[in-house]
Structure 1
Amino acid sequence: MAHPVFLKNGEEVKINDHVYCSPTWEARDGTPYSIARIMEFLPPEDAPKGPENKKFHYTRVRLAWYYRPGDVSDRTVSDSRLLLAAIYSEVCDINQLRGKCYVVHRDKISDLAGWKKRPDRFYFNRLFDPYIKKEFEVIQSTDVRNIPDHIREVLTSRYEYIVAEKEVVADLTDNLRLCATCEAWCPSADTVQCDRCKKYFHMGCVQPPLHAKPSRGYGWTCAPCSRKHEEEVDSHDVRYPTPSAPRKTNAPPARGRGRPRKDKAQAEREENFPAKHFNLWPFRYFGQYTVAEDTLDPEDLIFPRTATRQGPKYQANVPPAPDPYNHPPDIDERGGDNTVEVFGIINSLTEAEVAEVEACKRSLTNNRELQTNVDWITEVIRRFSDAALAARPFTAVSMKHAVRIDKWTKEETSYKDEPWSREEVVTFEDAIMHHNAELRAVRDEVVSRTVPEVVRFYGHWKSQKLGEQHKRIKEAGEPPKPICRRYKSDEEAASVGQHVGLSDDENSIVAEPASKTPTCGACRTRETAKWWKAPKGLSSNILCDTCGTNWRRYADLTFVRSSRDEQPPPQKSRVIDKREGTPLTGTSAKRIRTSVSSVSVQSTPPPPISTVPQVRCLACTRTGPLGKVLKCQKCEVRVHAGSCGAVLLDPTKPEKWTCELCDNDQTQEASLNPDCVLCPRGKAEDRKKKPYPPADSFLRVCKQTEQQCWAHILCAVFSPETTFSEANRLRLVEGINIISNHRWSTTCSICNVSEGAVIRCCDCPKEYHASCAWKQGHRFGFEIQPIKSSRRDTTVTVNFKGETGCMNAIVSCKDHDHSRRSIYDICEANDGGETALQVYAQAYKQAQVGHAHGLLRKARRLDSILHARSDSSSSNASTPQSTPSTSPECYQCHTQFSPAFYPTPEQPDHYLCHRCHFEAAEGENLGNPRGVGIIV
Structure 2
Amino acid sequence: MQGAGVQAGQISLRNGERVKINDHVYCSPSWSVRDGTPYSVARIMEFLPPEGTLKGKGKGKENYTRVRLAWYYRPSDVSDRPVADSRLLLAAIYSEVCDINQLRSKCHVIHRDKISDLAGWKKRPDRFYFTRLFDPYIKKEYEVIQSSDVRNLPENIRQVLIQRYEYVVAEKDVVPDLTDSLRLCQTCSEWCPNPETVRCDRCKKFFHMGCVQPPLLAKPSRGYGWTCAPCSKKHEEEVDSHEVRHPTPVTKPKSNAPAPRGRGRPRKDRTLAEKEENLEIKHFKLWPFRYFGQYTVAEDTLDPDDLIFPRAATRVGPKFQVNIPSPPTSDVVKPPPTTETQNPDPDERGGDSTIEVLSLVNSMTREEGAHLEEWKSALTRRRELLSSVDWLTEVIRRFSQAYSANRGWSTVDMSSPMRSEKWKKSETRYTDREWTAEEVAAFEDGILTNGAELRAVREEIGTRPMPEVVRFYGHWKNLKLGEENVRIKAAGTPNGDDASHSSRATPISDDEGSIVRNPPKANSICGACRTRESDIWWKAPKGLATDILCDNCGTNWRKYADLNVRPVREDVLSSAKSKREGTPLNGPTAKRTKTSTISTQSPPPNTAAAPQLRCLACQKNGPVGKVLKCQGCHFRVHAGACGVAIDKNTVDSWTCDLCQNAKTLEASLNTQCVLCPRRKASKKPAADSFMRACKPTEGQGWVHVLCSVFTPEVTFTDVSRLRLVEGISTIPRQRWSTKCTLCGEISGAVLRCSDCVREFHASCAWKAGHKFGFEIQPVRNHRRDVVITTFKGDTGAMAPVVCCREHENSKRHLYDICETNEMGESALQLYCQTYKQAPVSQAHGLLRKARRLDQILNIRSDSLTSSGDPSDRECLRCHTQYSPCFYPSVPGLSNDWICHRCHFDTKPAIPELMLPAISRSPVEMDKAFTSDDWSPPTWAT
Output the TM-score relative to the length of structure 1.
0.48
Q: Compare relative contact order (CA 8 Å, sep 6+) and give the higher one, 1 or 2.
A: 1
Q: In terms of Rg, which structure is larger?
A: 1
TM-score (norm 2): 0.48
